[in-house]
Structure formats: C-alpha cells, structure tokens
Amino acid sequence: MINVTQPSVGAEELAAISAVFDSKWLGSGRRTEEFEEQFAQHLGVSPESLLFLNSATSGLFLTAELLGIGPGDEVVLPSNGFIANANCVIDAGARPVFCDIDDGVLNPRVEDVVKVLTPRTKAVMVLHYGGYPGEVEKIAALCAERGVALIEDAAVSVASSAGGRMCGTFGDFGIWSFDARKVITTGDGGMLYVRDPEVARRARRLAYHGLEDRSSFTTAAKSPHLWWSFDIEDIGRRLVGNDMTAAMGKVQLRRLPEFVGRRRAIAERYTRALSGVPGVRVPPPLPEGHLSTHYFYWVRFDTQAVRDGVSEDLLAKDIYTSWRYYPLHRVARYGATDAVLPVTDKVSDTALLLPAHQDLLDEEVDLVAREVVEAVAARGAIRG
C-alpha cells in the first residue's frame, strides 16, 4: 500500500528516546526546554513565547481560554479545516462562522474574511492549507486594524513562510502539530506560540495545573526549604509535553530541511507528470516570497463522479488517497449547514489528495501519476 501520509522515523529517534530512558526522567524537563529553544530559533522568536504541549488540539482549546472566548462571541474560520478548529469554539460556548476560500491555494482571502465579520467577531482563525501560507500577511493586517485576534492553525506549516516570516508567527497565537502523520512527528504533540509575553506566561501556568513554577512538583533544586509548597491563581489542566516526545522532536527538527526538500521534489515531480493532462488540475505555483512544507498534494477533477471513481481505481491498485478536510459547515452540530460557501463545496466534491510524504520513492510517484492519468481517461473525463 502506498500511503497518503506516513512518518519518517528510525535509529536516530530511537537512540534519543533511549537516552531519556537512561536518564530516568521521562516527564517535562530539560529536553522539553531544549526542544522549545530549538524550535524558537527555527521560527526566529523568543523561547518564552513557545510552549510544547501534548497535542496541537490542546493548543487550540488553550488559546480559546486565553482569549476569553465565550457565549455571544463569534470566531471566523474556513470550513475546510480540521474538526478541532470548530470544536474549540463550540466548547467555549461561542459560534463558529465559516468563510469561503480561494479557488487556487484553498486558503481564505481577505475578502472572504471581511464578508463574515460582525461586531461579535472575537477572533479569526486561518488555516495554511497543505502548507501554503495564503494571504496571511493581509489577514494579519486586517485583524490588527479591526482589533480582532488572529489565530494561525499552522499545524502542517512547520517550514512554511511568507516574506521571510514563518507561518504561525503572524498572529497573536500560532499552533503547530507533531502528530503521527505530520512533517515532523513526536508521536503526539504540538507547539503553541503566544505573542504577548504576559499571556504566554499565563499559558504556561494553565498548561500545568495553574502552577507558576512546575519545578515545585519535580525538583528541590530551587528551594532548600519546603520546596513542595505552592500556590495558584488560575485553575489549569495538564497539557504539557514530555522529555520522551521532545527528544524525538529534536531529532525530527534537525532533519526538517531534508524532509521539506524531499516533499518539494515530490510535488514538482507530480506537477510535471500531471500538468496539461485533460480533466486534471494541479495546485498553482507558490506566489513569490512564499515557501511551503508541501504537506498535501491535491488534484482537481471536473466532477465528483470522476473524483470518486479515480479514488476507487487507485485503491484497487493499493494506492491510498483521501480528501482533507470534510467541510465543517456540512456538520449539523456546528449549526451552519445553511452557509453559502460555493468554492469550499466545489473543492470538497472534486479534489483528491495524492500520496505525499518524504519516504515516497520517485518510481512510486511516477506510478501514482500514471494511474491517475489512466483512471481519468477510463472515466471519460472532459476538461472543463
């Protein structure tokens, strides 16, 4: 089976985890701090603004709490996003308001966001679809002008940038995912960026039970007398990552340039093979000054019937395809099934994700491309 996504892990990651075992300290500690510091250097931000968490989803829910999102508030977000994006809004008692997307890079444009802004808008959440930055610079400027918080779902954009600035750092909050299928993985895990230093300190407290200094539960080094005493202001939860996953993350971060380089080569190989094929539309080129992780490689077809047929034909050849993400405005629980999002609907019905991960061999990419061409031809697709 050729998978859509899969991690690249091996001996280096095992050795790093083994060293954590040997240290006898598995929880959040020195390696966690080192991972935060190294990721901060990668992003070009202060380590104090970053927090390694047990998942990106935890980062989204924590962000909603830090912003004080609640009943009566609205959060604008694209419908073609992960379920956690809407769930954190609903959980806070607020209302998700879905906006449409660009027909090319599948990200919201400024005009899409403006259409659904209201006096009740508390925040805008953007998704860098498949690693494409989109109009994040313009949307950040819009949010600053309107006094609305900007949350960046940079889950798959660990190496994406626009104008030399890393995705996830344009807004007030940014979240990256390191789950088992992401560009770099810690098995499960995520990183949260908080622009405001005081809010970042509060985020750190809330992520560990409300404690100002988590060392009071882990070591006596900072206080020789009654080191186990503590006080809290906020009622928090336990959302922090640990040294086992952080050790793995440090290795993966070091390998990131290799991973992204390979993903870029795979995307270029697909584009060369599929450009100009009747009935197949490939992703547009990146705008000048934009870099992508190339997490997704999607193709578009003329109709849903062709898309579904191509997916079935490839699966019969042990080639797994998918579509991410199922449009959230079609989920009844979110109360937006009457939303008018023509581009989102069209894309969701006619697009397909092809296998795109750094372990793919050139011959596998070529095989997938050939099978797509044959499947489209067999379905009698006519370019629109």
275-295: per-residue pLDDT in tens?
999 999 999 999 999 999 999
Question: What is the C-alpha to C-alpha distance for residues 369 and 355, in angstroms, rounded to an integer?
Answer: 10
- Higher-pLDDT residue of 223 and 5 is 5
Q: Enter the pTM of the model.
A: 0.94
Token pair 């809004």 is at which residue? 89
pLDDT number for residue 65 = 98
Who contacts 234 (Cβ-Cβ below 8 Å, separation ≥6)?
Answer: 202, 205, 206, 210
355 is a domain residue: yes
The residue out of 203, 228, 252 marking a domain boundary is 252
- Does residue 96 surpass a pLDDT of 80? yes
pLDDT tens-digit profile of 294-351?
Answer: 999 999 999 999 999 999 999 999 999 999 999 999 999 999 999 999 999 999 999 9
pLDDT number for residue 212 = 78
What's the number of domains the chain is made of?
Answer: 2
The residue out of 252, 283, 308 marking a domain boundary is 252
| Mean pLDDT along residues 174-190 | 97
CB contact at 8 A, 151 and 76: no
Catalytic residues: 182
Whether omega for the bond prior to residue 334 falls within 30 degrees of 0, making it cis, is: no
4 is a domain residue: no
Full domain range(s) for residue 296 = 256-378
262 is a domain residue: yes
242 and 285 housed in the same domain: no
- Does residue 217 surpass a pLDDT of 50? no
| Mean pLDDT along residues 96-103 | 98
pLDDT number for residue 341 = 98
224 and 366 housed in the same domain: no
pLDDT number for residue 250 = 98
2 is a domain residue: no
CB contact at 8 A, 155 and 176: yes
Who contacts 104 (Cβ-Cβ below 8 Å, separation ≥6)?
Answer: 283, 284
Strands (E), 119-239: 121-127, 149-153, 161-162, 165-166, 173-177, 190-194
Pull the structure tokens for residue 196.
Answer: 């405001």
What is the percent of the chain with per-residue pLDDT over 90, rounded to a whole number?
91
The residue out of 225, 252, 279 marking a domain boundary is 252
Residue 283 per-residue DSSP state = P
237 is a domain residue: yes
Average pLDDT over all residues of the chain:
94
230 and 340 housed in the same domain: no
